[in-house]
Chain A
């Protein structure tokens, strides 16, 4: 008992990762999560509230917090910021009209102190849709160059075809891992 169980607990925690999925409504957050988890994506309802998915990824346990993106839910996002290792911001690349909305919401989020240390992955989703902006264009529109010291990356992807998803998650896990290693 005692010391051994404490050590075991700490070791286990080291292998856990808390990931927060955020973004405007209709960006495809839930679809991405379900796609990664290998579930059916043809009957997804817009997320009312939030859902948590736990999955094993390589040697890590990912706790993915999938939070609804509707305007009426965005003020609740802050309840999920605590102890977030990585934040995944999902964008509907074809929704040109709300791209500025998207930029403002993202920059609001980046000001949050509780998310200051979190790795940021930006999924430029829906690349399979005709008329979608490329990841380079989105990088410009969202003014991502002014990010400062945060670890971030933008990844073009499509939740429907699955293209680009694993690469993005791969990078996120590796980045969090390297950070933990440095601190531990």
Chain B
């Protein structure tokens, strides 16, 4: 515009008006053409790939398609239990395509749309996962002891059927044994053998003597039980006890207690570790600081030796004799859930009136 006005002003002296106007018109036309071209160019570059609306529309259509496919798979699952692995695979492949499209478009999409789309994808993913897990449930981990025994049995029975192939089959079963996985329904069954522990008892008096003990021992899921372990152990694990009374001979390693309520534990052990235990009395002889974690209302008192033949010798030979008792570590409890300098409110020393004397249940059953 400045050129036009100055040109207009200068026109009478240098050029006639017409040439100036012509020149201006030509320049204007060139400018317009240039602008058109640029707009066109921009549209060419942008429209198909970067128009948010266009993308969202096509993406939504695709999304609906995949959602329908997933839905179809889920419903088919419900009606007939046929495996629909292929259709599931297709659906998940399409789903991945959708995800990729969205990812590549994310840099030009408005944030609101992007959020909406990701949310839609998430719900779809959930449905897909569900359908997948229904079609082929993941095998839960479980230890193979039972299954291994079973597979060997089946192999044995096969061996009797086909006598000449027997040895080979047996060998195969044995080699497959470590890989054998338990079925989910078998996972709930106890994985302890008799001499390794006591599990699931209710309101019983259970006594184990030295020849039934040794090594690792587990007490699990007991209610209202009295348990006497009359012998030496290398490790003791206690969990899920309610209203129980446990007394045991010397443990050469650690005693690990978890999830116990309203019980009494009489332990002689190199280490005592107590977790998630409430309203429980501990009578201890230890060679290290007993520890508690996430516990409350714990009372501690010195150990009461069990009365059985060789009890004193067992204690001495496990380094848990009178020397250890003299260390007095039973009262040096450390509370790992109370890392302050003030004393922990979760445990206390048992008053003398209660800790004196022996307990009847320890004698009554040992005879």
Instruction: Verify B234–A129 contact, CB threshold 8 A.
Output: yes
Q: How large is the interface on B (under 10, 10 to 19, 20 to 34, 35 or more residues)?
A: 20 to 34
Q: Which of B37-45, B112-120, B130-138, B286-294 contacts A (4 or more CB under 8 A)?
A: B286-294
Q: Which of B151-159, B163-171, B267-275, B308-316 contacts A (4 or more CB under 8 A)?
A: B267-275
Chain A residues with CB under 8 Å of B293's CB are 70-72
Interface flag for A43 (CB, 8 Å): yes
Instruction: Verify B289–A46 contact, CB threshold 8 A.
Output: yes
Q: Which of A77-85, A93-101, A105-113 contacts B (4 or more CB under 8 A)?
A: A93-101
Instruction: Verify B234–A42 contact, CB threshold 8 A.
Output: no
Instruction: Verify A43–B288 contact, CB threshold 8 A.
Output: yes
Chain A residues with CB under 8 Å of B216's CB are 94, 129-132
- Quick one: which of A26, A44, A72, A129 contacts B294, CB cutoff 8 A? A72
Which of A94, A141, A160 has the most B CB atoms < 10 Å from its CB? A94
Chain A residues with CB under 8 Å of B334's CB are 45-46, 48
Chain A residues with CB under 8 Å of B214's CB are 130
Q: How far is the CA of A173 from the CA of B289 in the complex (A)?
A: 33
Q: How large is the interface on A (under 10, 10 to 19, 20 to 34, 35 or more residues)?
A: 20 to 34
CB distance from A161 to the nearest CB of B (A): 12
CB neighbors of A among B229-263 (8 A): 234-235, 237, 239, 253-254, 256
CB neighbors of A among B199-247 (8 A): 214-216, 218, 220, 234-235, 237, 239
Q: How far is the CA of A48 from the CA of B290 in the complex (A)?
A: 11
CB distance from A31 to the nearest CB of B (A): 9
Chain B residues with CB under 8 Å of A43's CB are 270, 287-288
Interface flag for B178 (CB, 8 Å): yes
In the complex formed, the residue of B with least CB distance to A134 is B178
Chain B residues with CB under 8 Å of A96's CB are 143, 191
Interface flag for A128 (CB, 8 Å): yes
Instruction: Verify A45–B215 contact, CB threshold 8 A.
Output: no
Instruction: Verify B288–A48 contact, CB threshold 8 A.
Output: no
Instruction: Verify A94–B235 contact, CB threshold 8 A.
Output: yes
Q: How far is the CA of A97 from the CA of B141 in the complex (A)?
A: 12
In the complex formed, the residue of B with least CB distance to A141 is B141
Chain A residues with CB under 8 Å of B179's CB are 140
- Quick one: which of B218, B234, B275, B336 contacts A73, CB cutoff 8 A? B336
In the complex formed, the residue of B with least CB distance to A131 is B216
0/1 per residue, B315-348, Cβ < 8 Å to A?
A: 0000100000000000000101101000000000
Interface flag for B196 (CB, 8 Å): yes
Given contacts A72-B336, A97-B218, A97-B239, 16 further A-B contacts (CB under 8 A): A42-B287, A43-B270, A46-B273, A46-B289, A48-B336, A71-B275, A72-B293, A73-B336, A96-B191, A129-B234, A129-B253, A130-B196, A131-B215, A131-B216, A136-B178, A140-B178
Chain A interface residues toward B at CB < 8 A: 25-26, 42-46, 48, 68, 70-73, 94-97, 100, 126, 128-132, 136-137, 140-141, 160
A and B contact pairs by CB, cutoff 8 A, 23 listed:
A26-B271, A42-B319, A43-B288, A44-B271, A45-B291, A45-B334, A46-B336, A48-B334, A48-B336, A68-B336, A70-B291, A71-B275, A72-B337, A94-B216, A97-B218, A97-B220, A97-B237, A129-B216, A129-B235, A130-B196, A130-B234, A131-B196, A141-B141
